[in-house]
Amino acid sequence: MRHDGGGEGWYVATGPDDAGVRWVVRSILSRHGLVGPYADATGVDLLTGRRITQGETLHLEPTDVVVLRED
d(CA 53, CA 70): 10
Query: Residue 34: which of 42, 23, 26 has the closest Cα?
Result: 26
d(CA 48, CA 14): 33
Q: Where are the domains of the chain?
A: 1-39, 40-71
Is pTM beyond 0.75? Reply is no
Could you read off the pLDDT of 57-66 as tens digits, one per residue? Answer: 888 888 888 8
Q: What is the pLDDT of residues 7-51, one digit of tens each?
A: 777 788 888 898 988 888 888 888 877 766 555 788 999 999 999
What sign results for the dihedral spanned by CA atoms 56, 62, 64, 68?
positive
